């Protein structure tokens, strides 16, 4: 029996994916759970497993094709009992209609309440005055002329019958029209990604799923949050001394110690003191949603675009654990191996652009989060210490918040606490 496997909803509001690599070919035997295809969504790159055991009979798309969620992905010939054949769909629906009550609304012509016999495949109902009445209705109010079987079939398949062209008398929609419309819709679910095109003046590159998501999310954040930014400089000579002292010990355990683990820890501890920045607004219910756990998102400059994996419960982790997780997540991001679970439920974000030379910036919120901290390039500069001018190390900080939720005073107090932790990292030992 033929089983058509549709591209599943992977969660997080995904609508489509791009085929990166087929793991199977037509005629290949597969077992349940075997990987079929590697798909790129706007969140992750994921392997899609086979839901059935059988033989692959058809692949719906080539490498680079964009597949809509719910569109056919692969056909599998299976021997499992109880798996319906695609051609049996109409008959199955007819059987349901024959034994189940059909309830029509008052808006439907020839409304019937109760059980009714199913008309034959080629049968039509007499022309009613529905067509005449429909001319006086708006497009949204107009009801399609349709046989009872076609109307039930459209409902079963989730098709808006008003969009289906009818081939029967007076444009009446028949069961054949529903099947034809559904087949065309499924074909439309597969689209070919535009190839790169170059001229002497310009080069056109297709948008990847990640790039489309970045564009959509950035625009959404700018239009739906009241951005406010604060800029500060923190002297970190003490932090540099601590890092230099323990850098080698971390390396001996296979972990690279950078400044970022200290920043993550400082942010997490400051969020415990200032929960407004660990929140989001819920306008529909007129409330703020305070996150009681500190899940810190880390913006990673991956080859295909910006991704934000999450360090969960960062306030409860040691500097060593944070450093190890940062290394693992960054490696996965570069190899496009991040999972959805590793990228969701972030409550605050950090973006470190200093590693590539930036000093200050105005970070865009990772909506609906209330805050994001940007970390710039560490600078050697003259400072005053103990009434003397000495060379210090300055780390620039750029904090953006949603001003609808976070006031200026709370913003300043938060970044002041972050700076205090970075100035004297031994303060981490004083926290519960």
Q: Which residues are catalytic?
A: 403
Residues sharing a CB contact under 8 Å with residue 138, sequence separation 6 or more, in sequence order? none
Would you state the structure tokens that stand for residue 101, as one six-digit string?
């009550």
C-alpha angle 422-386-375 in degrees, rounded to nearest 5: 25
> What whole-number distance in Å separates Cα of residue 183 and Cα of residue 197?
32
> What whole-number distance in Å separates Cα of residue 78 and Cα of residue 61?
21
Would you state the structure tokens that stand for residue 143, as one six-digit string?
């009801």
> What whole-number distance in Å separates Cα of residue 240 and Cα of residue 3?
61
Residues 169 and 197: beta-carbon distance below 8 Å: no
Helix (H, G, I), strand (E, B), or coil: what is residue 353? coil
H/E/C letters for each residue in 27-54? CCEECCCCEEEEEECCCCEEEEECCCCE
How many whole angstroms from its chain centre is CA 207? 16
> What whole-number distance in Å separates Cα of residue 379 and Cα of residue 396?
8
Would you state the structure tokens that stand for residue 133, as one six-digit string?
């009445």
> What whole-number distance in Å separates Cα of residue 231 and Cα of residue 419?
12
Closest by CA position to 116, among listed 71, 75, 147: 147
Closest by CA position to 8, among listed 63, 60, 69: 69
Closest by CA position to 326, among listed 316, 340, 337, 314: 314
Closest by CA position to 8, among listed 32, 56, 53, 41: 41
């Amino acid at each position: 029996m033929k089983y058509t496997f549709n591209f599943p909803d992977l969660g997080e509001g995904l609508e489509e994916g791009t085929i990166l690599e087929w793991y199977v070919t037509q005629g290949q035997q597969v077992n349940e759970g075997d990987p079929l295809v590697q798909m790129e969504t706007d969140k992750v790159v994921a392997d899609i497993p086979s839901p059935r055991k059988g033989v692959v009979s058809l692949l719906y798309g080539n490498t680079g094709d964009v597949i809509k969620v719910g569109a056919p992905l692969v056909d599998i010939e299976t021997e499992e009992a109880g798996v319906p054949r695609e051609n049996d769909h109409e008959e199955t629906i007819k059987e349901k209609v024959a034994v189940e009550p059909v309830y029509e609304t008052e808006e439907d012509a020839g409304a019937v309440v109760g059980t009714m016999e199913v008309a034959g495949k080629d049968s039509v109902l007499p022309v009613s005055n529905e067509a005449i009445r429909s001319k006086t209705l708006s497009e949204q109010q107009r009801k399609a002329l349709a046989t009872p079987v076609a109307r039930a079939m459209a409902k079963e398949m989730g098709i808006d019958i008003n969009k289906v062209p009818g081939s029967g008398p007076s444009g009446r929609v028949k069961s054949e029209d529903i099947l034809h419309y559904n087949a065309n819709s499924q074909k439309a679910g597969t689209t070919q990604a535009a190839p790169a095109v170059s001229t002497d003046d310009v080069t056109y590159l297709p948008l990847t799923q990640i790039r489309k998501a970045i564009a959509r999310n950035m625009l959404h954040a700018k239009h739906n949050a009241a951005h406010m930014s604060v800029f500060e400089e923190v002297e970190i000579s003490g932090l540099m001394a601590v890092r230099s002292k323990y850098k080698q010990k971390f390396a001996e355990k296979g972990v690279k110690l950078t400044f970022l683990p200290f920043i993550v820890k400082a942010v997490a501890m400051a969020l415990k003191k200032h929960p407004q920045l660990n929140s989001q607004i819920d306008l529909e219910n007129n409330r703020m949603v305070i996150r009681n756990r500190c899940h810190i998102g880390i913006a990673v400059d991956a080859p295909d675009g910006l991704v934000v994996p999450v360090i969960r419960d960062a306030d409860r982790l040691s500097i060593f654990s944070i450093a190890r997780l940062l290394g693992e997540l960054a490696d996965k991001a570069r190899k496009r191996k991040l999972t959805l679970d590793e990228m969701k439920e972030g409550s605050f974000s950090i973006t470190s652009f200093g590693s590539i030379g930036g000093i200050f910036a105005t970070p865009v919120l990772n909506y609906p989060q209330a805050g994001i901290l940007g970390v710039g390039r560490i600078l050697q500069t003259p400072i005053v210490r103990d009434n003397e001018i000495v060379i210090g190390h300055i780390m620039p900080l750029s904090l953006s918040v949603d001003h609808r939720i976070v006031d200026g005073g709370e913003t300043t107090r938060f970044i002041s606490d972050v700076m205090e932790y970075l100035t004297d990292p031994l303060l981490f030992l004083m926290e519960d």
